[in-house]
Amino acid sequence: MANPIIRIHDISTNEVVDREMTDTEHAKWLSEKAEQKIAADTQAATAAAKTSAQTKLAALGLTADEIAAL
């Protein structure tokens, strides 16, 4: 399978070159993409846990100000 195409734009000469990624570039790109997905998933899980905790505290009768103070 061919690697994805990348575009390199030299702004000093306004030259644009489209070429296939090298195997090393492609591996790095896939690794960075996986890291970004992990970070996004972690952020979503953290936000969901925070919302859940706030909902449970509100169910116990705490006000929004009291929850924020915690």
Q: Is residue 39 part of a domain?
A: yes
Per the structure, the complete domain to which residue 55 belongs is given by 23-69
Mean pLDDT of the region 8-16: 95
End-to-end Cα distance, the chain = 53
Instruction: Give me the pLDDT at residue 25, please.
Output: 96
Q: Evaluate whether residue 57 is within a structural domain.
A: yes
Tens-digit pLDDT profile for residues 17-50: 999 999 999 999 999 999 999 999 999 999 999 9
Q: How many domains does the chain have?
A: 1
Within a 13 Å sphere around the CA of 58, how many CA atoms are in the beta-carbon half? 9
Confidence band for 59, pLDDT divided at 50, 70 and 90: very high
pLDDT at 1 over 70: no
Task: Determine the Cα–Cα distance for residues 31 and 38; give it in Å rounded to an integer.
Answer: 11
If you ran DSSP here, which 8-state letter would residue 20 be given?
E
User: What ranges in the chain are assigned the alpha helix state H?
Assistant: 23-59, 64-69
